[in-house]
Structure 1
C-alpha cells in the first residue's frame, strides 16, 4: 500500500476560503467540511482574496507563490548568514524533496507555513547581526502571524529563542517564548467558538502512545511491507525523511564542534522544532506525511553547508550555480513522477468506510422525519483500525442536510464520543458498514 493523496486537505482549504467570503469572521464560529480546528487558517484567509477575485485555483496559487518565495528567501537568508555558494545550494536543494513540490502545488497551508517560519528566522538573524530594533519587531510580527496559519508554526520559536540566547540577548529570547504563548492562547480562545470534530490530542499524542517513538515504524514512517526502498520516489522520500534528518544533525554536530561554530546549535534547534509535531503526535505521523513540513528547510540548509564544507576549495560560485541548475532540473523530473498519485484518493475514506457508504447513510438519515441533532446518536466502532476516533460523523450530518453550523461545541463532543443517552435515531458504525435505524 503506497502513500495516499490527502485530497480532503484541498477540499477543506477550498471551503474554508469560501466560508470566509460568505460569512467573514463569523465563519470562525462553525466548521466547514473537512476543516480542522488547527489555527485560524491564514492560508485560507489569503486564498479567499484570490477566490473572491475569481481565481478558482486560489489556494494552489498561494501555495505556489509561497513555495517559490521560500526558495528565494532561503537563498537570500543563507547568502548573508553563510556564503553565496551555500545560499545557492540551499535554495535549490529544498526543491529536491517531493513533499516540498507537493506543498507548492496543492491547496495546502504548509508552503505558507514554511515561508513564514523561514521569514521569522531571517528576521531574527538580521536583528542579531545589525543594530536597531526594526528586525526584532519584524520577527515578533511574523511569528505572531505565522502561528495563525496552522498553529504548529509556533515551533519556530525554539530556534529563534536559541539564536537570541547564543547572542546573549536573553530578554529578546524570553520575549519570543512569551509572544508564542500569548498568541497561542489568543488563537485557542478564538477557536473555542468552533465545534470540535475529534480530539487529536487523545487519539494521536505521545502522552497516550509514547511507545511509538521507540519503534522503527516511527523512524521509517511505517515502511509498507518492510520495504525501505519502494520503487515510487514519493514513498521512498517520506520513509527516509527522518533518518536523513538525523544523519544531517549528526554531521552538522561534527561540523559545528570541529569549527567551533555556534550557528550549528541554532540549526540543530531548527531540526528539533521540525521534529516536534511528529514527536508530540506520533500516531498522527503515520497517516499524515505533511507533518514533516518543518524538516525540509533545515535539511536543505544542513546539506548545503556540508556540501560546501567538503568542496569549498574546489567549488567556485559559477560552478555552484551549475550544480544548483542540475538540482532544479532533477527536481522537475521528480515533480513529473510524483505530482499525481498512482492511486487516486477517496476523500471520505476512513478504513473500510468509503465515501459511497458515508453518502448513503446521510441520504437515509435525510429521509427520516423530525431530525434533531441533539437526538441523533453514533454507536459502534467509533475508532478506526489505527486507534483514532473516526471523523465521519460531521460528514454524515452534512449529507443529511442537517445544519451543522447550529451545533454547539458541547453537542459536537457528545456526537463524537457517544454520550447521548436519549436519541430518536442512531447511526451504527461497524467495521465495514453504516446502518441507520431508530433508537
Structure 2
C-alpha cells in the first residue's frame, strides 16, 4: 500500500496510540488499533453519537465493517461474544484470532480509521467461571483484545459486583471496560436505576471506572420477535442516574430495532456503542433484511434469499439443507457459521466481494444516517496525539468511599434492592 494514503498525524497516532499488546503482535503494522476508551471518548465528545460494535461472526462482516467505517470517517469497534468466539464457539472468528484478522485487513485495504477490538459478553455465571477467567482474560489481551465486557449479569446483584471487582486486576488499566446489569431478555427482567447505581457506585469505590454499562432495556439478542424493542425512556432515566460516574451506554440487541428508535437512542440517551450481530450475519449471506435488521421470512417461515447478493444460491441451498438436517430453526442459523466458514472462503472472489459489500453498505448507512458517527475518526487521532499515549486514563474519579463498599456491606446493600431478573434461560448473545 503506498505511503501517500497515510497522513503524518495518522502515522504519529499509530506510533504512540497503539496499546503495548498490539505493538508486540504487529510491530510493523500501520493499522490504528486502539483502546476502546478512545472510541468511547470520541463519540461522547461529539455528543448524540453512537458507533457500531460490529460482531465479526465471519471475516466478510469484518471486511465490510472496516470499509464502511473508512467511508464514514468513523471510529468503529469490531467484537465477538464469548458464545460466538470463546472456547465453545460457533464461529471461526474468535477472541484469539480477531485482532489478527482486523490488523491484516486494515493493512491490506489501507484502512485509516481507529478500531477497537472488543471481547463482548465475557460471561461469568458461577465461581468456576471466575476461576477460569483469571487465566483466560490475560490470554485475550495477549491475543490483541483492547476492550472487554465483563458480563456477570446472570448472577445476583451482589455477586455481579463482586465478580467485576475480583476480575478487575486481570484487565489492563488502559483497556476499554464494559459492565452489565440485567441480562438481555426483552420486556421481562428489565434493569432498574437502583441496580445500575449499585453496580457503578460499588465499582467506583474500588477504583474501577467502566467506559460503558449494558442494560436490559427491553430488547433481545438475535431475531426480534416483536416490536417492543428498546425502551428509550428507561434507558435515559438510568443514564441520567449514573451520569456523575461518567459511564456511557452500550446498547445490546440492536438488530430488530427501527432506525427511528436507534436515532432516539443516540439523541436522548448517553449511549456511544451499539452492538449489531444478527443483521450483519444475515446480510453477508444475502438474506433480505428490513429496516429493523430482521431477516424476512416467507409464508413457510423460511428466510428470503436475494438472488444477486451474498452467497451463491447453491451455497445457500447447502446451508439450508444442513440446518434442516440438524434441526436448526431461524434463531439458530447462527450455528451455520463454523461448519460453513471454509466453504464460504472457497467461493469465487466476486461472490465474497458482494458478501462484504452488502455489509459495508448497511453499516455505512447506519453510521452516517442513524447513529451520527461520521467524522469521529479524526477526533480519536487528535485525542491520541494530545495525550501522547495509548492510554487516555479514566474519565471518572473515585467519589464513593471504599469503606462503604466492603464485601459485607455490598451484600447488605444488595439485599435491599428490588429487582426482577426475568425468566431463566440461555440469553448469552
Is the pair's TM-score, using the shorter chain for normalization, greater than 0.5? no
TM-score, scaled to structure 2:
0.30
Q: Which has the higher contact order (CA 8 A, sep 6+)?
A: 2
Could you tell me the TM-score, scaled by structure 1's length? 0.29
Which structure has the larger Rg over C-alpha atoms?
1
